[in-house]
Amino acid sequence: MVLKVKVESVEDHDMEMWSEPVSPTGQYFNSSVLSVSVISILEFENPLDDSSSLTLINNVFLPINPRFSSIMVDKGDEGKHWKRVEVKVEDHITVPHFPEGLTLKFYDNHFNDYLSKIAMEPLSQTRPLWEVHIIKYPTSNASGSVVFKLHHALGDGFSLMGALLSCLQRADNPSLPLTFPNFQKSAKADTEIKSLISLVPKALSGALNTFCDFGWSVLKSSFLEDSQTPIRSGKIGVEFHPINIMTMTFSLDQIKEIKSNLDATINDVVTGMIFLGTRLYMVATNEDAKNARSTALVLLNTRSIGGYKSVNEMVQNQEAQIQWGNQFGFLHVSLPELDQDDNILNPLKFVEETKNLIKRKKNSSAVYLTGMLLEYVRKYRGPEATAEYIHTTLKNSSMTVSNIIGPVEKMTLANQPVKGLYFMVVNVPQSLTVTIMSYMDQLRVAVGSEKGLIDPVKFRICIEKAFSMMFNAAVKSR
């Protein structure tokens, strides 16, 4: 099968000459202090045929961006650069061998242990910063899986997921591009934005929010540390500890029902669900830690676009190429406290509070001021000091929540139907990371948790309980 994806690439004779400065964020994420990667898992309906893997990577994946064929080199006073090298694709592909004839439960455990193993192993700096693992064994979720591990220095979740999706096609019609949910603002919202009367109080409150949020962000990134709780060990070097990665699936239609009842966004509902479930887990594990000080870093895409374009546009379009890289910010959001009756009577109140917190944070320029602060630190103290600042920001908080928009249609990879997909950010100095991705009519929530601290089964039960409470309350209140 020939995959018809046209991409721009560097000419072969220019390979040795191609060099691009590494972005400041790319340097932060690949430093002596931080080395963060993204693991993306594609699940397949049928047993895997990997006969076309080398061709697929050579002809489709590598041409997407020169960084996939480059290593990071230090050019002294010029700083770090991406240098184009010859790629030996076979060195980047691993096909592990598990014991034969095991039950799905045993393969689930082997698969989880394998993910934890590759999460902890650093990517080699002597070759391009990515690798592929082809798992030919079944699990409870799939007949086989392909795991991509890509260094965060290559780009953020938006860039990397766009690259991976460029290797896939629509199952119903491969000649058509994959499409993504539309996030254009409504005409009503545009009218309100244009109204000077509505802008004045918004600007004043935004200025106040900016002052408060930026000040608190600096404190959180310096010495104001979250409490040690059932979701935060506070151990030094926690990013090097083994992790569990487990997932759960929710109906987008049901989430939309909750959304419409609360006049909120899908992100508000899902984040509220995660916060409520996390508080339920904390109280179920240790009553004294029920409302301990806990902060989440909620990641935001700072690109000047509302969502994904089609895959071909993302790869070919010059504007989309400019949008490549690490372009995100984060909001410090305190987990709302769990009142006595929240886990029995009024979960929607909890979600409403989460929505209002995030809405207030968004009406603030603290994210951009933080970016300016990081640039100031980089300029006068260097990228390593900036990486240390980011490391402390992560370490002092309790969890990170990140989400990515997935395609509406069912996908295939080399004619093999994709049943599901999710991702996880690894080597982060936190005990808990939650990622969210949509695919077709479902939402996949993945949880990366420190082994020995967080019980993944109990945590999943608490998140699912939070969702059930929210949905039942939303249906009853209509």
Q: Which of 52-56, 235-239, 354-358, 471-475 has the highest mean pLDDT?
A: 235-239
Query: Looking at the predicted structure, is the pLDDT value of residue 114 above 80?
Result: yes
Q: Which residue has the higher pLDDT, 378 or 467?
A: 467
pLDDT band at 119 (very low <50, low <70, confident <90, very high): very high
On the question of a common fold for 12-170 and 187-405+428-476, the answer reads yes
For the chain, domain boundaries: 12-170, 187-405+428-476
Q: Residue 33 and residue 427: Cα distance in Å, rounded?
A: 11
Q: Residue 260 and residue 269: Cα distance in Å, rounded?
A: 10
Query: Looking at the predicted structure, is the pLDDT value of residue 54 above 70?
Result: yes
pLDDT band at 186 (very low <50, low <70, confident <90, very high): very low
List the structure tokens of 85. Answer: 């090298």
Q: CB-based contacts of 209: which residues, under 8 Å, 6+ apart?
A: 360, 361, 363, 364, 366
List the structure tokens of 355. Answer: 């929505």
DSSP character at residue 336:
P
Q: Residue 144 and residue 107: Cα distance in Å, rounded?
A: 11
Average of per-residue pLDDT across 250-260: 90
Tens of pLDDT, residues 229-252? 999 999 999 999 999 999 999 999
> HSE of 231 in the Cβ direction (CA atoms, 13 Å)?
33
Q: Residue 115 and residue 276: Cα distance in Å, rounded?
A: 27
Query: Looking at the predicted structure, is the pLDDT value of residue 316 above 70?
Result: no
Tens of pLDDT, residues 264-273? 888 889 999 9
pLDDT at res. 310? 44
Q: Is 69 exposed, middle or buried (0-12, 13-18, 19+ CB in 10 A)?
A: buried
Query: Looking at the predicted structure, is the pLDDT value of residue 333 above 50?
Result: yes
Q: Residue 295 and residue 330: Cα distance in Å, rounded?
A: 12
Return the H-helix or E-strand segment holding 131.
strand 130-135
Q: CB-based contacts of 354: which residues, under 8 Å, 6+ apart?
A: 268, 271, 272, 275, 276, 333, 336
b/e string for 158-175 if b means 16 or more Cβ within 10 A?
Answer: bbbbbbbbbbbbbeeeee
Query: Looking at the predicted structure, is the pLDDT value of residue 473 above 70?
Result: yes
pLDDT at res. 330? 77
Tell me the longest C-alpha to C-alpha distance in the chain: 69
List the structure tokens of 414. Answer: 């080399």
- Dihedral over alpha carbons 351, 357, 358, 363 (to 10 degrees): 150
* Cβ atoms < 10 Å from Cβ of 143: 17
pLDDT band at 360 (very low <50, low <70, confident <90, very high): confident
| Domain boundaries 187-405+428-476, corresponding CATH code | 3.30.559.30
Query: Looking at the predicted structure, is the pLDDT value of residue 306 above 50?
Result: no
Query: Looking at the predicted structure, is the pLDDT value of residue 321 above 50?
Result: no
Average pLDDT value for the chain: 83
> In terms of residues, how long is the chain?
478
CA 147 vs CA 40, 43, 289, 452: distances in Å: 6, 9, 36, 24
Tens of pLDDT, residues 123-145? 999 999 999 999 999 999 999 99
Query: Looking at the predicted structure, is the pLDDT value of residue 150 above 80?
Result: yes
- What is the DSSP pairing of strand 432-439 with strand 399-404? parallel
Query: Looking at the predicted structure, is the pLDDT value of residue 413 above 50?
Result: yes
What topology is assigned to 12-170 in CATH? Chloramphenicol Acetyltransferase (3.30.559)
Q: Residue 192 and residue 282: Cα distance in Å, rounded?
A: 41
> HSE of 92 in the Cβ direction (CA atoms, 13 Å)?
25
Q: Which residues pair with 420 in a beta bridge?
A: 43
Q: Are the C-beta atoms of 120 and 240 separated by less than 8 Å? A: yes
Q: Residue 75 and residue 71: Cα distance in Å, rounded?
A: 12
Q: Are the C-beta atoms of 133 and 46 separated by less than 8 Å? A: no
List the structure tokens of 276. Answer: 């409520």
pLDDT band at 12 (very low <50, low <70, confident <90, very high): very low
- What is the DSSP pairing of strand 37-44 with strand 416-426? antiparallel
Tens of pLDDT, residues 15-53? 555 678 888 888 888 999 999 999 999 999 999 988 888
Percent of the chain with pLDDT over 90: 48
